[in-house]
Amino acid sequence: MPSVESLVKDGWTIIADGPSGTQLQAPRKMRASDSVLLLIGVLCGVFVSLILGAALVCAALVDYWFLVKPETVFLARKETKT
C-alpha cells in the first residue's frame, strides 16, 4: 500500500485530510484518444482547413479538461490501540 508521502512526491495532491484518513487526487492524464484527436486537429489545421483543425483541437481540449476525471484514492489511517 503506498504511503501519502510517496504519492505526494509523485505529483498527487491532498484533497481532504481528516481523522479517518487522507484522500488524494492524481495528476490528470491525457488519454490516447485525446492525443490522436489533437494530432489530427493540428495536421488538419496545417494541411486542410484551419477552421476544421481548430474545431478538432477544441474538441480534444474540452474532452481532456471536462470529461477526463483524475484518479482519486482514500488512504485510511491505521488505528493505534492504547
Q: Where are the domains of the chain?
A: 4-76
| Grouped pLDDT means (10 residues each) for the chain, 82 residues | 81 87 89 92 91 92 90 81 60
Which pLDDT does position 41 carry in this prediction? 93
DSSP string, the chain: ---HHHHHHTT-EEEEE-SSEEEEEPPP---HHHHHHHHHHHHHHHHT-HHHHHHHHHHHHHIIIII-PPPEEEEEPPP---
- This prediction has a pTM of 0.66
